């Protein structure tokens, strides 16, 4: 990318931070794809789809308890903290995230301002009763609802549909955005990967922070190839990149 004057985030009031696994990688949480990605090591059909859960819920829960344990041992990184600081200073900014780790909230972002496209590792639901509850136990105990059915992690697994209400809320935020900052997303998971187009089509300033190009990099006016914490620090002040 040629040298360009990149406007500081302070110039905008309705920023949408669109975050993915690359942001949390700086906290030690593995990404899903690429080198070291979870789905290079595990077959989702055994651990992360409704069919697997119906077949062997204990096996699926063993896998997710291990994930919960690893995520619980991690801390929000500087990128999470910078985003939290911006949201505290600017009440019309919001986070739309593909992450299920809850690190935005742990960094200090009010949960009402985090739209979790793929659910949360820290919620469970009972599909028999239609109940969703927060649960941060590691390991979870008991694994069954009072009705006798297994709790299910309240996350979007492979082959699941995204919640239409969550998608609508994310779309509304992107329609109103005057800037979108995409951080650490692979650009290959749909329909999430297509959401930034909403903001771009409405003329929002657009920034992509990633270590490498993605299939949607062409959407963005400004592309920063560096760790999220470094890029966000630079975006808080005007400079030549």
Instruction: Please give the positions annotated as active site.
Output: 118
Please enumerate, as own/partner, the contacts of 82-86 that have beta carbons within 8 Å and a separation of 24 or more: 82/229, 82/232, 82/233, 82/236, 83/17, 83/19, 83/107, 83/109, 83/232, 84/108, 84/109, 86/9, 86/15, 86/17, 86/236
C-beta separation of 110 from 139 below 8 A? no
Question: Do residues 200 and 206 touch, judged by C-beta distance below 8 A?
Answer: yes
What does the alpha-carbon distance between residue 135 and residue 124 come to, in Å, rounded to a whole number? 7
Question: CA-to-CA distance for 16 and 125, rounded, in angstroms?
Answer: 28
């Amino acid at each position: 990318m040629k040298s360009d004057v990149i406007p500081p985030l302070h110039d905008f009031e309705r920023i949408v931070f669109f975050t993915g696994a690359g942001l949390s990688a700086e906290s030690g949480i593995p990404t899903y794809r690429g080198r070291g990605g979870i789905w290079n090591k595990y077959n989702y059909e055994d651990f992360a789809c409704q069919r697997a859960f119906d077949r062997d819920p204990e096996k699926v829960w063993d896998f997710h308890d291990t994930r919960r344990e690893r995520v619980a041992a991690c801390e929000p990184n500087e990128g999470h903290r910078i985003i939290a600081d911006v949201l505290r200073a600017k009440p019309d900014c919001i986070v739309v995230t593909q992450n299920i780790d809850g690190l935005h909230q742990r960094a200090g972002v009010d949960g009402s301002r985090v739209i979790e496209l793929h659910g949360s590792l820290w919620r469970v639901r009972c599909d028999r009763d239609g109940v969703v509850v927060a649960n941060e136990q590691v390991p979870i105990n008991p694994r069954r609802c009072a009705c006798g059915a297994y709790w299910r992690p309240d996350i979007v697994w492979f082959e699941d549909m995204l919640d239409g209400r969550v998608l609508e809320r994310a779309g509304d935020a992107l329609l109103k955005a005057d800037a979108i900052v995409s951080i650490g997303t692979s650009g290959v998971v749909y329909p999430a990967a297509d959401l930034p187009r909403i903001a771009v089509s409405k003329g929002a300033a657009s920034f992509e922070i990633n270590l490498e190009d993605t299939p949607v990099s062409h959407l963005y006016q400004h592309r920063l190839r560096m760790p999220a914490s470094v890029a966000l620090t630079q975006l808080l002040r005007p400079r030549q990149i």
